[in-house]
Structure 1
């Protein structure tokens, strides 16, 4: 049986994913600061809008006006999609509100709007609401299980662990997600240049590229050079 693909909206990345993410799967974008996690999340959202889909974008970090300004700089007319684009800013410092909104209200919002793409940026701030590791693990498992029952494709962004730049901050999301895309800095052998690069670490139920490829974040798009080598 051929599984339907959901284009990410980044040509080179979609090539590495052999056409895009699997429909109704969960994707984690993991990277340190400055590697473009939010930009990839916005690109995934905008591609859905371009395809006529309804999209929910939940920000736990950037303010709504800043996200809209970023999209406007890229020439994206979000006003044209205002009836299909739901951009929500939650305050992660308000523990009870953030927990309730993501765990209880998000599934209802997905059903009421018919959204087929959902982005949570960054999920690591949600994870950080739980001081106890066992509570964090339990609540993340519950959230992922709830989202698997929804008719949407979910993208989560996550910071990397300071001690492990190849893993997420709390070491959970990469095990729970179906697809993991790692964004990183690569320094040239002579330490004269720094490149952005990405790797599709895993993709359940699908083959995918296992090469590390360079990318650039340009004014109006992300360019992943899937045919290029790093050095």
Structure 2
């Protein structure tokens, strides 16, 4: 569906409501990079570090065997100054020092929510994305959906700033007897991609996207 994968050093937003697998997608993206010998930075603004490591271990993705190539950090989004400083000022230096080629922020919507003023939020997000474009890494941002618009991010910003937007959603059958998880590649700059909505499953050890299947 992505015609081979995410372009290197691009920015991808994975958007979805609760339970659609945003964090699982992000963890698998991290694990694939680690398995290829890359260094990965994973910043969690929601789940505790030990819970994320336990989730990976449960799926057979043992994070401990990668040693100091895997930097899993949790920031407290309620500590405004620390979270802002860490993401805006310290993250670029950390990326360069560890030569990280993959960076994940999960979820970026909690960072956006630190700015109560919409104009300030937009300005800070644009600045952050511009800074990250100067770093030699592929950035994945997860975001919750907007309750009023299940096809958009919570604040309606990341889908415009990202190069690739992947939307995760629930789809109910016509008879309301089944609920399916579905994936859509909404946008992908400078690369051809599928325009179809495809079902996927979160299995014990991986995410499986059925790119040849139809929803019903």
Settle same-fold status: TM greater than 0.5. Answer: yes
Offset, 1:83: 1.6
- Give me the TM-score of the superposition, normalised by structure 1: 0.93
- Aligned counterparts of 1:171 and 1:83: Cα–Cα separation in 2: 35
1:159 is the counterpart of 2:107: no
2:67 aligns with one of 78, 82, 95: 82
1:98 aligns with one of 83, 91, 104: 83
2:48 aligns with one of 58, 63, 86: 63
- Aligned counterparts of 2:100 and 2:84: Cα–Cα separation in 1: 20
String of CA shifts for 1:138-183, please: whole Å, max 9, x gaps. 0000000000000000000000000000000000000000000000
Partner of 1:13: none
User: How many pairs were matched up?
Assistant: 216
Partner of 2:210: 225
String of CA shifts for 1:89-124, please: whole Å, max 9, x gaps. 000000000000000000000000000000000000
Partner of 1:6: none
Paired residue secondary structure (2:130): helix
- Aligned counterparts of 1:201 and 1:177: Cα–Cα separation in 2: 11
String of CA shifts for 1:47-105, please: whole Å, max 9, x gaps. 00001000000000000000000000001121110220000000000000000000000
String of CA shifts for 1:19-49, please: whole Å, max 9, x gaps. 0000100000000000000000000000000
2:168 aligns with one of 183, 190, 195: 183
Which consecutive residues of structure 1, in runs of 5 or more, have no partner in the other structure?
A: 1-15
1:135 is the counterpart of 2:120: yes
1:202 is the counterpart of 2:187: yes
Which consecutive residues of structure 2, in runs of 5 or more, have no partner in the other structure?
A: none
- Give me the TM-score of the superposition, normalised by structure 2: 1.00
Partner of 2:10: 25
- Aligned counterparts of 1:172 and 1:82: Cα–Cα separation in 2: 35
